[in-house]
Structure 1
Amino acid sequence: MNNENEQTKLVTTTRVTLFGSWNVRSCYRVTKRELIDRQLKRYRIQVAALAETKIQDSGVCVVNGYTFIYSGTPSQQLSKSAHGAAVCLGPEASAAWKNSGAQWEAVSSRIVTARIECRPVPITIIAVYAPINPS
């Protein structure tokens, strides 16, 4: 079954899958997303949680084979605040995510989750943007 093969490819006991996190300080422009995917490719990161994306609304987009699952402030709300979180999946993680049903949820403008059915256990990635309080 093809789905089982994809599930076992992402996380195995014989190969390392790299996860990361990054405060990108905006990625609403496509050129910034291209920079992000180049850096993730350079360091061979398959799953990254991104914070302070400043992308409006929520959704999924693909840039150069990397899938961005994002959540931000609604576009009707005029705000210059630095909200937004995203999960970025590399090509292998994207394939596993799509084969496992492409499950994701924009919980709020600062929280987004994505679920990948892997073996031996499923993975839920939670990307959160939690700003600090200046004193």
Structure 2
Amino acid sequence: MYRNSVNSLMDGLSHDQHDGMTSANESLTREVSRKKPSLLRPKSKIKLGAWNVRTMYEVSKSAQVTNTMQQYDIDILGVSECRWTGSGRMKLNSGHTILYSGHQSNHIRGVAIIMKEEVTKTLLEWEPIITARFNSKYCKLTIIQCYAPTNDADEETKAEFYEQLQYIFSKVPQHDLVLITGDMNAKVGSENTNVEEIMGKMDVG
């Protein structure tokens, strides 16, 4: 059940990681308190993406994802279905940092945020929900990465997911710029009346 995945994210708050990863308890503290560079600046641009990668629980899959990020020059990538267990933080040889959160024991679902090395320097704090907050001089940026249940899920499961998302959103500082990214499991179709500027004719024939 998706409910187990939601609960596992909360259980992850006290789940220790090994092999050089931070524990979830550590993740709740603020980053090192030196002066942080600014992520959002006047006239500057950052590229963000949100992909469902199906799984990163395969040899070299993380490298494949970060290589594709570099090809598209993506600064911050929200990942759905990373399928890693527990929660923690990992730095790759490429310099990218991955913040991740998933089921405690099963390689199912799971979300992550992957950042370029220079973006990581602006990270203020994060929680294994997963959310990440970045420093900027004029406006802080908070990203909430999620993986929603499909319309085929039972009503209780869907209601619990959106209640959890609302709770997470309510904790974001009032003046932050907030981006909710991820796989919302929407149904595809060709009806785009009044939303033509943001939705194409994506029917599956």
Output the CA distance in 1 between the equivalents of 2:150 and 2:43.
39
For the pair 1:45 / 2:74, whether they are aligned, the reply is yes
1:66 maps to 2:96: yes
In the TM superposition, what are the counterparts of 1:1-135 in structure 2 within 5 Å? Answer: 3-4=35-36, 6-7=37-38, 10-29=39-58, 31-63=60-92, 64-75=94-105, 79=106, 82-97=108-123, 100=124, 103-107=125-129, 112-134=130-152
**Shift of residue 134, structure 1, vs aligned partner:** 4.2
Amino acid at match of 2:102: G
Deviation at 1:24, TM superposition (A): 0.7
Aligned-partner Cα distance in 1 for 2:70–2:35: 24
SS in 1 for 2:83: coil
Which letter maps to 1:105?
E
- Report how far residue 120 of structure 1 moved: 1.2
CA distance in 2, matches of 1:95, 1:69: 14
Q: Of the two, which has the highest radius of gyration?
A: 2
Runs of 4+ that moved beyond 2 A? none
Deviation at 1:131, TM superposition (A): 3.4
TM (norm. structure 1) is 0.79
Over aligned residues, Cα RMSD in angstroms?
1.8
Separation (CA, whole Å) in 2 of partners of 1:89 and 1:127 = 13
Q: Which has the higher contact order (CA 8 A, sep 6+)?
A: 1
How many residue pairs match? The answer is: 119
Shift of 1:22: 0.4
Structure 2 gap ranges (5+):
1-33, 154-205
Task: Give me the whole-angstrom Cα distance separating, in 2, the residues matched to 1:26 and 1:74.
Answer: 16
Counterpart of 1:3 in 2: which secondary structure? Answer: coil
CA distance in 1 between counterparts of 2:76 and 2:137 reads 16
Identity rate of aligned residues, in percent? 29
Q: Looking at secondary structure, tell me which structure has more strand per residue.
A: 1
Q: TM-score, normalised by structure 2?
A: 0.54
